[in-house]
């Protein structure tokens, strides 16, 4: 599988299922869009519906679905924008869960943050 050779490092450290999801989607996206940014964005979008980035790898979510408000929008209807949390599952996590993750990552100002802000901060820190 061509996509398997060039897996991003966080995906290489993830489960075989996460690797397969990304690689298969990338392969099909490259057929559709060519080898470029759009194909990789499509593969990440598919990955984020079933997996969440935790630390340096992607782990399976308990419930499949969009991870944040941006992923929930329908590009087919021209809806874009919204805030992204860089793979952190905002919708599937409680504010307390995100607060605890932010605490472990030593995010400053976390006690005054909203749920979305906590998710974004966690996403930035785990890069």
Give the separation between CA 89 and CA 50, rounded to whole angstroms. Answer: 10
Confidence (pTM): 0.62
All domains of the chain in start order, with CATH: 1-61 (1.10.1740.70), 83-127 (no CATH)
Q: Is 93 helix (H, G, I), strand (E, B) or coil?
A: coil
Rounded (10°) CA dihedral 90, 95, 97, 103: 110
pLDDT of residue 67: 65
User: Mean pLDDT for each 10-residue chunk of the chain (127 residues)?
Assistant: 70 93 92 88 88 89 72 55 73 89 93 92 85
pLDDT of residue 114: 92
């Amino acid at each position: 599988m061509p996509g398997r050779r060039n897996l991003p490092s966080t995906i290489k450290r993830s489960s075989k299922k996460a690797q397969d999801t990304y690689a298969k989607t990338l392969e099909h996206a490259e057929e559709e869009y060519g080898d470029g940014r759009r194909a990789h964005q499509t593969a990440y979008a598919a990955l984020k519906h079933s997996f969440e980035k935790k630390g340096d790898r992607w782990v399976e979510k308990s419930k499949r679905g969009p991870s944040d408000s941006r992923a929930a929008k329908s590009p087919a209807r021209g809806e874009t924008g919204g805030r992204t949390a860089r793979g952190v599952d905002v919708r599937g996590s409680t504010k307390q869960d995100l607060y605890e993750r932010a605490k472990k990552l030593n995010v400053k100002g976390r006690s005054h943050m909203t749920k979305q802000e906590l998710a974004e901060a966690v996403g930035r820190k785990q890069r």
